[in-house]
Homo-oligomer: A and B are copies of this chain.
């Protein structure tokens, strides 16, 4: 590998000058510039980004810490993050935390030692001191972090209410919910919104606490259906649970949406491709990732940001598991 020193010798100028033409950092006579460019070409010289990072303390890379890339919500986020990062010349390091505090901490430490320029995190814990004392910006993704950390999120409470209203207005009589795990603030908020709306209508809903995961959801969905055959309207904590519920409902010969209405949450692509397609409260997943990345990079580059807390809109997408 040729170094800047090789280029310097080959072209007969100093390394400083080579650096100047490399970075356009100050005027260089056009004839010497030409010589340098020529040398670079002939030696097939590529600047060593690590050396540059060491000096500049800027790596043009960010860390993306999510619970699990195999969970279908996150690939869409990751794609947005990567696209956006790339657009601004940044690379992204992918980290799966499994919602494990220790694993998250290990990653943060490693990323920090590698001088990434910022962290994008979907963390399990609302307030964690995993993020204390870092010398780089952190943006929380899909988790409202209160005032402590900049974040990009959706109003999960309103989403829950919207699901309840929809089910109610569609003529639902017996309501149920399979929520996400309550230790996730997002799941809790969705649930709270759902129940609050029903309460105003003097209705209640059976509630099962689930997980954001297919395997577990199959079990809970089956249980709900078996224990409560009278239920006709279910709100589920995310689309994966919804897909599991559809499967179990069909296995039991229920007609959807006539016997059973279902509303999911997230709007992952696959929800629209199954039969029946899953009605859902849709988050702008790609834009969530995109805006979070933009915010993070603005922060990393010390640009002025007028909003460090961005709430993105949700909306109800009617597909085939609801009547209206």
Q: Is the CB–CB distance between A46 and B109 below 8 Å?
A: yes
Contact string, A123-151, partner B, CB cutoff 8 A, digits 1/0?
Answer: 00000000000010000000000000000
Nearest CB of B to A189, in Å: 26
Bound state CA distance, A115 and B94, in angstroms?
17
A82 partner, pick from B76, B94, B273, beta carbons under 8 A: B94
User: Given the interface contacts A214-B269, A247-B275, A250-B275, does A112 sit within 8 Å of B46 by beta carbon?
Assistant: yes
From A112, A114, A251, A269, name the one whose CB has the most chain B CB atoms within 10 angstroms: A114
Is A53 part of the contact surface with B, judged by Cβ < 8 Å? yes
The residue in chain B whose Cβ has the minimal distance to the Cβ of A274 is: B274
Q: Is the CB–CB distance between B92 and A94 below 8 Å?
A: yes
Bound state CA distance, A94 and B51, in angstroms?
22
> From residue 81 to 111 of chain A, which have CB atoms closer than 8 A to chain B?
82-83, 91-96, 109-111
List residues of chain A with CB under 8 Å of any chain B CB. 1, 46-51, 53-54, 59, 61, 64, 68-72, 74-76, 78-79, 82-83, 91-96, 109-115, 135, 214, 218, 243-244, 246-247, 250-251, 269-270, 273-275, 277
